[in-house]
Structure 1
Amino acid sequence: MELLATHNPWNISELHILLRLLLALLLGGLVGFEREQSNHAAGLRTNILVCLGSCLLMLLSMYGFSAFVDEPNVRVDPARLAAAVITGIGFLGAGTILFTGKSITGLTTAASLWVVSAIGLAVGAGFYFASATATVMVLVTLWAFNKLEKRYINIKKEHLLKIKAKDLSQAMIDINGLLLDRKIIMRKMLLEECEDDDEGGQVMLQLYITLPKSETLLVLLDSIKHLEGVRWVSSE
């Protein structure tokens, strides 16, 4: 009872500060190492710095203003700087999101930075079990779920085929028959005349397709290339 009575929630020893900063470095480094192995923009050092900085700001928010606690007309809010970190990390995460043509990349990296900042805040506040458990869950999500996603979800990814053909009617019949035989689903088709056509009569077909598990994109492109009337084919 005497220890509880003399304990000051606004003070922390230098040893505990060091332990919390080291734990933030370790947990942020674990997530950063996974991102580095996957060759993402925010890798080992970025995640360590985000987690370490969040932990330091949480420590500052909770214990950095303890000298002013007993001052009149002063109200100390331990969560004030933590709220600013959550808002500010959004700008760093936005920098990792890229829009390339018809796809958006970097969302997972941005989300991992946001979670790493939350882990750093949790470590700074002394929630060791919660921060360690969250780190394990993040690693499972980034590694194990990524394997499942590539195996069961990305297989059904939509592909864009661009086909330049000379004889439109014959090419359409051959391509449609090829897709039906291989059970390839055509989502959308666009047709336009080639502006740089020197020979005349050539058209550009744009097909949005979804491949089945048994089909590979390279084999399909090679099959379309050898169809009568097809000049060239590409994929995005």
Structure 2
Amino acid sequence: MVIDLLMRIALAGALGGLIGLERQLRAKEAGLRTHILVGIGSAMFMIVSKYGFTDVLPLEHIELDPSRIAAQVVSGMGFLGAGTIMIQRQVVRGLTTAAGLWVTAAIGLVIGSGLYEIGIYGTLLALIVLELFSRLSRYLIGQHHSLLFRLKPKSVPLVLLALQKERIRTGQVSVINRDDESGLCELSLEVTMSRRVIQSHLYEALMEIKGVHSLEMH
């Protein structure tokens, strides 16, 4: 029995590590170690929830709900997931990583309860969504980028027009931090570029616009 429980903890950590490895390779906020710890912790909570109170159950007037501790893992992951979500220049990032941590916790609970097949199957599906669907999305829709300009206010329409001519879809647009001394402001843009767009050529074309002083592409 003890060996089986130890194997559950190790397997939950290993499966969580696979998801964490994918996240770390993409330089995301929560990587390999975080996901391994979430998987191990969730499995241990599940084991405690199912088997940790067997010594008191024979006593009179003792009734326990084996799902209560496991249920708190779901709530607790909300706090950890929120720590990976950041707002940078009015753009929300880290939602996928937060969802990955949530799924890793679920995998740990499933493995901790002894449902090995379900846990392994869930891990495979999560990796397919994170890797295969990511590539498919970039191929069909394009890749998201953040553009940050320092430019003259009158150059903002010219930049938007240039992006429109290149058939680049724009999302969140914000103009912030106008400097009275230089007369420059910051233009933040979320764009979606198709595979045909050559970033170096786009950078040169945007920098040639009159009034554009600098451009950062992420």
Number of equivalences: 215
Name which of 194, 208, 211 aligns with 1:226: 208
Answer yes or no: is 1:139 the counterpart of 2:127. Answer: yes
Q: Assess if the C-alpha contact under 8 Å between 2:207 and 2:215 holds in 1.
A: no
Please report the TM-score for the alignment, with normalisation by the length of structure 2. 0.80
**Deviations along 1:36-84, whole A, 9 cap, x unmatched?**
2222232222111111111111111111101222222111111010011
- Alpha-carbon deviation of 1:210? 4.9
Q: Assess if the C-alpha contact under 8 Å between 2:150 and 2:184 holds in 1.
A: no
> Structure 2: how far apart are the matches of 1:178 and 1:17?
60
> Structure 2: how far apart are the matches of 1:154 and 1:88?
35
Answer yes or no: is 1:82 the counterpart of 2:70. Answer: yes
- Alpha-carbon deviation of 1:32? 1.9
Which structure would you say has the larger Rg?
A: 1
**Overall identity of the aligned pairs, in %:** 32
Structure 2, unaligned stretches of length 5 or more?
none
Answer yes or no: is 1:101 the counterpart of 2:89. Answer: yes
Name which of 17, 34, 47 aligns with 2:35: 47
> Structure 1: how far apart are the matches of 2:55 and 2:201?
71
> Structure 2: how far apart are the matches of 1:72 and 1:209?
63
Q: Assess if the C-alpha contact under 8 Å between 1:186 and 1:207 holds in 2.
A: no
Pair 1:42–1:182, CA change in 2 (3 A): closer
- Alpha-carbon deviation of 1:218? 3.7
- Alpha-carbon deviation of 1:92? 1.2
Q: How does 1:139-178 map to 2 (within 5 A)?
A: 139-155=127-143, 159=147, 161-164=149-152, 178=162
Q: Assess if the C-alpha contact under 8 Å between 2:39 and 2:108 holds in 1.
A: yes
Q: Which secondary structure does the structure 1 equivalent of 2:92 belong to?
A: strand
Q: Assess if the C-alpha contact under 8 Å between 2:49 and 2:67 holds in 1.
A: yes
Q: Which secondary structure does the structure 2 equivalent of 1:232 belong to?
A: strand
Name which of 15, 38, 47 aligns with 1:59: 47
The residue number in structure 2 matching 1:3 is none
Q: Which secondary structure does the structure 2 equivalent of 1:54 belong to?
A: helix
Structure 1, unaligned stretches of length 5 or more?
1-12
- Alpha-carbon deviation of 1:162? 4.5
The residue number in structure 2 matching 1:8 is none
Please report the TM-score for the alignment, with normalisation by the length of structure 1. 0.74
Q: Assess if the C-alpha contact under 8 Å between 1:191 and 1:203 holds in 2.
A: no
